[in-house]
Amino acid sequence: MSSKLSGYASSDVAAEFPPGLKDFNYAPFWDFHVLGVEFAITKLTLLTWLAVVGISVFFLLAVRKPKLVPGRLQWAGESTYGFIRDGMARSMIGDAGVRFAPYLTTLFLFIVANNIYGVIPLAQVSPNAKISLPVVLAILSFVLFNWVGIREHGAKTYFRNLLFPPSVPAWLYPLLTPIEFFSTLVVRPVTLAVRLFANMFAGHLLLLVFTLGGVALLASDNFLFKGFSFFSFLLAIVLSLFEFAVQLVQAYVFTILTASYLQGALAHEH
Amino acid sequence: MADDQPDRGPEWGMNTGWAIVGTLISGMAVWGGAGWLIDWWLGVSFALPIGLVLGAAGAILLIVKRYAHLSDE
């Protein structure tokens, strides 16, 4: 590695133990400015683009020639959409939630695709392991549920119901309104982003520890350490399977919480 | 909302759980934080515990008002 790139992730695995924050910084291979804003295209950017293209192509092919008796691809597309529409949009929000099914399906698949990069060979890192992508997704969901609530009730009623819960006496509002404000408008988007980011970040670090640790043990002069690298690699494999489950669960949790917030924004206070 | 309640799957209970935990933590964070600031400004040490208790009480009140009716269903 040249000294210029010393702050970035390296491809020289044996020299890279212990792993650290540097393993999340990829060297940009394309740098340009648009209107004074710097854009740096890295491996993570490419992976995100690939996810967008992959999901688009999947659904375009799935519905290109819809048949009454679906083929394999059409079946896959329809059952994915049906799973989110019935299992999330309809069961969480009700019949009014079906119009959110396309967004929730896209959100779920986008997060799934970006998460499982963490265990896909050659990719081997999730773009969600940097907080910027989860932040964008959380802002999207945050803006959506507030916008939907304002559209449904009008801005005045929506924020009144949000900040001044009608079922409690008015003299408690000084105590309760700050709590409501904080829990709905601050905690919700922050936890959405941080939960996804932290899971992907920790997962990547965990796999790095045991993979690079195995390499470091194997490269050591001590005979016992060399033998021990077997267990390190074994654990890396087991944890890869575990991470795969975490990646699916986190995508599910992010989507279902978005659906839950939408339901809250649409609901009428009793 | 009462007449068009959707079928509730297991995930519905999970969300209520998340929401309740979120409200509890928010209550203690907001008023505990306010108490901590008062302590820091005035150089005293009693406002933080008072804030924490007040925040937790407020959060519990909010939770009861919002979710207690669910236990009747």
**Is B9 part of a structural domain of the chain?**
no
Tell me how crowded residue A60 is: count the other CB atoms within 10 A of its CB.
10
Band of pLDDT at residue B1, cut at 50, 70 and 90: very low
Report how far apart the first and last C-alpha atoms of chain B are (Å, whole number).
Answer: 14
Whole-number Å distance between alpha carbons of A114 and A205? 16
**Is B73 part of a structural domain of the chain?**
no
High-pLDDT (> 90) share of chain B, %:
51
Band of pLDDT at residue B3, cut at 50, 70 and 90: very low
- Contact flag A260-B15 (C-beta cutoff 8 Å): yes
**Is B32 part of a structural domain of the chain?**
yes
Whole-complex ipTM? 0.79
- Contact flag B30-A178 (C-beta cutoff 8 Å): yes
- Contact flag A179-B59 (C-beta cutoff 8 Å): yes
* φ and ψ of A32, to 5 deg: -155, 165
Residues facing A39 on adjacent strands: A32
**Whether the predicted pLDDT of B19 surpasses 90:** no
Domain locations in chain A as residue ranges: 14-266
**Is B59 part of a structural domain of the chain?**
yes
Whole-number Å distance between alpha carbons of A203 and A42? 20
Question: Using alpha carbons only, what angle is made at residue A59 by residues A57 and A65, rounded to the nearest 5 degrees?
Answer: 100
* φ and ψ of A225, to 5 deg: -65, -40
**Half-sphere exposure of residue A24: CA atoms within 13 angstroms, side-chain side:** 20
In angstroms, the separation between the Cα of residue B43 and the nearest Cα of chain A is 23
Q: What is the pTM of this model?
A: 0.86
Minimum CA–CA partner of A161 in chain B: B66
Contacts of A179 in chain B (CB under 8 A): 23, 26-27, 30-31, 55, 58-59, 62
pLDDT in tens, chain A (270 residues): 444 445 666 555 556 678 888 888 888 888 888 988 888 899 999 999 999 999 999 999 998 888 888 888 999 999 999 999 998 899 888 888 899 999 999 999 999 999 999 999 988 899 999 999 999 999 999 999 999 999 999 999 999 988 888 888 889 999 999 999 999 899 999 999 999 999 999 999 999 999 999 998 888 888 888 889 999 999 999 999 999 999 999 999 999 999 989 988 998 764
Query: CA of A215: how far to CAs of A19, A202, A229, A233, B61, in Å?
Result: 12, 20, 7, 8, 55
Structure tokens given for A146: 């507030």
Question: Using alpha carbons only, what angle is made at residue A223 by residues A220 and A228, rounded to the nearest 5 degrees?
Answer: 80
Sequence letter at residue A232: S
* The pLDDT value given to residue A8: 65
Whole-number Å distance between alpha carbons of A4 and A2? 5
Containing domain of residue B43, as a range?
18-68
Minimum CA–CA partner of B2 in chain A: A270
Quote the number of domains for chain B: 1
> Does A84 touch chain B if contact means CB atoms closer than 8 Å?
no
- Contact flag B4-A96 (C-beta cutoff 8 Å): yes
**Is B61 part of a structural domain of the chain?**
yes
| Average pLDDT of span B36-53 | 94
Sequence letter at residue A262: L
Whether residue A126 contacts residue A247, with contact meaning beta carbons closer than 8 Å, is answered with yes
